[in-house]
Structure 1
């Protein structure tokens, strides 16, 4: 569980609640179903319209990363790479075949299998870097789905406000309906701006941070495996990869 994400969401919602109620506002006044349907439904529909099915569903699957991000232990990764380098120098690349079967990370497993198969050094790096670039781009496109929601939401909120005012203007002779229409107008604007800046954009940026961490970890794996393929000394490999400890 990412405690920082949980704390951030709680503080954001709590700050809005406290700020509103300190001036005598009632939190129930912020709950307006028609405004919610217009803003949330309109935003969701617009994003679905611009996205492919694969991109949209993958974006939804990445939501869990916000509160439960994948963990990557840099120190452990470096230690494992050094062990693989030592084993390869002592017994050859085929000694890593059983190790590849035990690895859960698909990228690392692919790299070890390429090493065992004796792929030439140039193609070895090209394959790993291409795999990394495609993986990063695929995930970044999914993060862009939430960024797009953050862009559409305030505009849809304005649309909801205009619709609310139209409804209000049609009921000038009935104060109760007039008040309801005006409330929908203002609350739709709040929903549009609030959802964008308290949820959608922070979620998009959080996912990007996690993608960056994943990419750096996989770049370390790539560099380590290429170094092994190049026959470098395990101690020299460890010194080279220690630079990745700065990115945490």
Structure 2
């Protein structure tokens, strides 16, 4: 569970609501159904038009990473690589086939299979790097969907504000309807700007960070697999891959 994500939502939204109450405002004044429909309906509609279905579905699935990010224990991955290295030295590269069924990650399975098949290091790197680039590109595209929503929401909010003001101008002779139009105008702007800066854009950036971290973890595995293919000493492999650890340079 990503505690910072939960804390971010609570602190961000809570600070705004608390500020309104301390200023003597009424929180209920922010509840406006027409403004809600205009801003979020328009934002999702524009997003549906921009992105293909596959990217939209992938981005919805990736949203869970905000609260439940993929676990990437780099130390454990390094230990695996060292184990494979010792296994390859003891039983030869073909012996790595016995380790393939124990792995759940398709990327690791592919790397071990390439090793067991006796491919040279250049071929292994080309194949795995292509896999990494493809996965990274798809992940960043999915994260970009939330970034796009963060761009559309404020603009749609302004559109909602203009529509509310038009409603006000049409009812200048009817004071009872003026309040509703003014409320929709201002609340729509709050919904647009608030959702973009408190939700859509932060979610996009957090997902991008997770995608890049996953890419780095896979790049580390590639270096380990290539080192095994080139017959490097397990101790040297461990020292090389240690550079990927976040705390490797701490005193």
Spell out the pairing of 1:1-248 with structure 2 (5 A cutoff).
1-246=1-246
Shift of 1:19: 0.6
Per-residue CA deviations over 1:136-175 (Å, capped at 9, x if unaligned) read: 0000001000000001110000000000001111111222
Per-residue CA deviations over 1:97-134 (Å, capped at 9, x if unaligned) read: 12111101111111001111112221111000000000
* Residues in 1 aligned to 2:213 and 2:71: alpha-carbon distance in whole angstroms: 9
Shift of 1:247: 7.5
* Residues in 1 aligned to 2:98 and 2:171: alpha-carbon distance in whole angstroms: 76
* Residues in 2 aligned to 1:122 and 1:141: alpha-carbon distance in whole angstroms: 28
Q: Secondary structure at the match of 2:245?
A: helix
* Residues in 2 aligned to 1:25 and 1:42: alpha-carbon distance in whole angstroms: 28
Post-superposition, which runs of at least 4 consecutive aligned residues in structure 1 deviate over 2 A? none
The CA RMSD over aligned residues, in Å, is 1.1
Q: 1:219 to 1:46 in 2, by over 3 A?
A: same
* Residues in 2 aligned to 1:3 and 1:22: alpha-carbon distance in whole angstroms: 27
Give the TM-score taking structure 2 as reference length.
0.97
For this pair of structures, how many residues does the alignment match?
248
Gaps of 5+ in 2: none
Q: Secondary structure at the match of 1:96?
A: helix
Give the TM-score taking structure 1 as reference length.
0.98
* Residues in 2 aligned to 1:72 and 1:57: alpha-carbon distance in whole angstroms: 23
Gaps of 5+ in 1: none
